[in-house]
Structure 1
């Protein structure tokens, strides 16, 4: 039986507008093993505590994700855990690093106060971008069979800058990864592409090729931004702002994209049911995945 990632690639399913939506990210080191529902099912994390942290973080705009260094699967009792907080808003991105003794320590954080453009003073600044590769085979086998080899390859090429992650969404685009703090998510990656995305982030840039979208925005907004980037040949990360999409009918939106130089584009985005039916994730039933199809209706002015 063909996997969800093989089928998605075979049918050339568009990736633009498929990134998870998260203005902020909460990354919690937990070597494993990981469960499909990582914060509430993984060994070594009290499910009530993990669930509370996840809910509180989500209410403030942070997506909670477990991370580990590539290849490290055995837990280390008593060892401190690295935690990253990142915010992806264009022009106001930041990332902070701190250490905790357990996930329970995160209950003391006021996530609402930490969220937003103003960089908090918690922990220490983390100035080097990170690449997180989804490798959780309990969530989807494609993430393990495609993601783990990528994470292992990157560990030798960009040591200290790569982490495995429990869930980035879009298993069918595996290997998939997010580069933080900008929040650009990529799919169908190889090691060269991941290194290029990381190198681009170090200089305030991003890659349009292989990009699923910036997690800051909703799915229609992600697709609109990428359409403008392709049209304008624009790779600087923080020069575009995307307005809240205006829905005109079921599955049809108009999105305004503004450049810092004053140019403005209007993009119509339509949700398109892809054919033929296929599983969005291995083991799930057949359906028609919805892709975001952008069309520029008003060029830059």
Structure 2
């Protein structure tokens, strides 16, 4: 085995980790894969003979690439309050996907990723690297051209926002599924009071429908408002397919072999606190929904 083959083998040992880092940074599966590929290309152009911790070096490189992507996004954003709906990781409930397990090792729900989208690039880098991957602030600081103390403050600010806006889901997935099933049963039956009962009073519904609103998220707040909207889902009941969305109970709505939407639910304390919907046909077409569209 020559030197290039050895380097490629060593890189492959870190690929899943790098993809997990990039997905949390960018909320985009395609851009995460591009960032990992760019990291590989940079590795090939670098003499790493003196690199003692290749994993740490690769994490730094992919983080810097992601930071550049985040900064370009911020520059292009016309509305500073606009929040992009991240890409979901969708799988079957009755099958274990090892790749998905690695990608979602610390339960990165879609609602959490939505909150991360609202952070500044520096806040997101500091929070993701430190809180999710235990990278020391001293190593993060040079990436964002801040002092270690300032980097710590950025991560702390991001942490407060995440804790306030993305509560941790209930760990019991079977209980999550019961709550989601109750939501669709109430919707199917047109039972407004039952819908309100299964929703947290401050529930948030976010939806990306594509078209003229592509990349923009429509947001509704409050149990009664969301329940009123949910009553319009009753005609979709025959087409609801249970699925795992970012490791939590969710559904794919599909008819005639074509997905119409992916819905992610965050269940906390036995009630739904967030519903995130992607109905953009272009985005749905890029998702791996094999076995979920029948």
TM-score with structure 2 setting the length = 0.26
Q: Which has the larger radius of gyration?
A: 2
Greater strand share, structure number: 1
TM-score with structure 1 setting the length = 0.26
